[in-house]
Amino acid sequence: MIWDLCTTQEIAAADRSRVVILPLAATEQHGPHLPLATDRLIAEGICRGLETKLGDKILILPCPPVGYSMHHRGFAGTLSLTHAQLMESAATLLGCVQEDGFGNILVLNAHGGNIALAGVLMERLGERCPDARLAFTSWWQVAAEALGEITETGPGGVGHACEFETSLLLHLHPELVRREKIAAGTNVSTHPWAEGDMLRAAPVKLQRSMAQMTRNGVFGDPGAASAKKGRAILDAVIAALEPVIVDLHNSEK
Ligand SMILES: [Zn+2]
């Protein structure tokens, strides 16, 4: 079920074991070839797939369009909330869900800049509702093993507006991809201990803005992207989320 397409009576009558999914995304630069809405479009694509497979077990909240993206502000068009604003809005929104009696909540993230904040959000909601079952993941994290079999670009190939994100957009919204502008990311390397990507976290986080990490706003290699790969990525993410949602749904209250 889609939260905002239900009537108030339908939400009131919904089974409280349903897992309420809050997608998190961003409106930010995705290089010269992908739209600013890329993360939200990916999050919504994953949610549509989940609705098809698990519609009787979930309730999908509207995806807030703006996340924490201050580190992308070196590129025009990027919108961002502050940490405090994003925390307050997500905590308040999920507070409404909890007040309505739903205790199974999955925060499903599609933007790296939201990760640190979502961890604190989980702790904050857990303090307020110790009996709630709160879960958080990012799509590339929950499906990391399967995605490792799909990627063809090697270390540093999947990061931002990259092989993965471009493939997903070619599958979900091909009309929005400026194919003639696809170019490899101009990754700026630093120290071996600070180098990582979506599938291989760096041993040490070296704080840098995106403008310091990449000159063209792309980190990785979108040249290896295809719509077929995007379909495989989407399928892998949905397959990895399915047992998580089923377990949350079946948890004892
Ligand atoms: Zn993105």
Q: Helix, strand, or coil here: 58?
A: strand
* Distance (Å) from CA 41 to ligand 1 centroid: 9
Contact 105, 94 (CB under 8 A): yes
CATH class of 3-246: alpha beta
Per the prediction, the chain carries an average pLDDT of: 96
Cα 161 to averaged position of ligand 1 atoms, centre (Å): 6
Would you state the pLDDT for residue 253? 55
Q: How far apart are CA 211 and CA 168, in angstroms?
A: 24
| CA 130 to centroid of ligand 1, rounded, Å | 32
Give the tens place of pLDDT for each residue, 132-161.
Answer: 999 999 999 999 999 999 999 988 889 999
Structure tokens at 194: 């600070």
**Phi, psi for 88 (deg, rounded to 5):** -65, -45
Domain extents for the chain?
3-246
| Ligand 1 centroid – CA 206 distance (Å) | 19
Closest CA to 66 of 40, 29, 110, 27: 27
Q: What is the pLDDT of residues 174-196, one digit of tens each?
A: 999 999 999 999 989 899 999 99
Q: How far is the CA of 209 from the centre of ligand 1 (A)?
A: 15
Per-residue pLDDT tens digits for 105-126: 999 999 999 999 999 999 999 9
pLDDT on residue 224 = 97
Please report the pLDDT score of residue 251 as a whole number. Answer: 85
- Rounded Cα distance between 141 and 197, Å, is 11
160 CA → ligand 1 middle, Å: 5
In 3-state terms, what secondary structure has residue 6? coil
pLDDT one-digit tens code per residue, 90-101: 999 999 999 999
CA of 113 to the centre of ligand 1 (A): 9
Residue pLDDT, tens place only, 57-90: 999 999 999 999 999 999 999 999 999 999 999 9
Distance CA 50, CA 221 (A): 28
For the cut 90, the answer to whether the pLDDT of residue 252 exceeds it is no
CA 92 to ligand 1 center in whole angstroms = 25
| Distance from the alpha carbon of residue 38 to the mean position of ligand 1, in angstroms | 6
Would you state the pLDDT for residue 118? 96
Whether 214 and 96 have beta carbons less than 8 Å apart is answered as no
Residue 120 tokens, joined: 């604190």
Per-residue pLDDT tens digits for 227-246: 999 999 999 999 999 999 99
| Cα(56) to centroid(ligand 1), Å | 29
Residue 42's nearest CA partner among 30, 53, 54, 59 is 30
